[in-house]
């Protein structure tokens, strides 16, 4: 029995029963030896549910390099490039750009924070605009972030 057949049999078993940790570990270990077409066949197999750990591992193996390139591109891009990507209707990777800009907002000085707020105010998403409006309001009051309702309890 080949590794592919073994993993497929385990997937069929797990389709009707729950995965055991031992079976998951054995399958993930055997996935390292698979070719890309075999991984694609398993990934699109009806025997794997969307939430299966083995399916998530296959996805990571198939698209790891592409995901790493996207992450590196977003982390290395200056704010001037990320801001317009957030404002575009069909911008690239809006969720990742949004998370990166929010992280940079928290780690920036006042001028950079105001530029990031400006990009959020120009965004097409209502939630992004609201996030920017709240931050702009609190910046005018002298705070970088809105105070939490739990701040008084942290004494």
Q: Are 135 and 120 in contact (CB under 8 A)?
A: yes
Which contacts (CB < 8 Å, 24+ apart) does range 11-17 have? 11/42, 11/45, 11/47, 11/48, 11/52, 11/54, 12/47, 14/47, 14/52, 14/54, 15/47, 15/48, 15/49
pLDDT at 18: 86
pLDDT at residue 148 is higher than 80? no
Q: What local confidence, expressed as pLDDT, does residue 155 receive?
A: 44
Report pLDDT for 154. 46
If one counts every other C-beta atom within 10 angstroms of the C-beta of residue 98, the result is 21
Q: Residue length, the chain?
A: 155
Q: Quick one: average pLDDT of 6-22?
A: 89
pLDDT digits (tens, 9 = 90+) for 111-121: 899 999 999 99
User: If we measure between CA atoms, which residue out of 45, 43, 47 comes closest to residue 34?
Assistant: 43
Contact between 47 and 10 under an 8 Å Cβ cutoff? The reply is: no
Write down the mean pLDDT value for the chain.
86
């Amino acid at each position: 029995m080949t590794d592919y057949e073994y993993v497929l049999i385990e997937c069929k078993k797990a389709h009707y029963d729950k995965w055991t940790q031992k079976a998951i570990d054995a399958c993930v270990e055997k996935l390292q030896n698979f070719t890309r077409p075999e991984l694609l066949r398993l990934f699109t197999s009806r025997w794997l549910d969307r939430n299966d750990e083995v399916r998530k591992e296959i996805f990571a193996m198939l698209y790891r390099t592409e995901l790493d390139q996207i992450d590196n591109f977003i982390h290395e891009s200056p704010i001037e490039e990320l801001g317009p990507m957030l404002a575009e209707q069909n911008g690239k990777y809006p969720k990742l750009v949004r998370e990166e800009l929010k992280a940079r907002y928290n780690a920036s000085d006042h001028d950079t924070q105001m530029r990031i707020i400006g990009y959020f105010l120009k965004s097409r998403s209502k939630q992004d605009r609201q996030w920017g409006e709240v931050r702009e309001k609190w910046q005018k009051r002298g705070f970088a972030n809105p105070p939490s309702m739990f701040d008084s309890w942290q004494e």
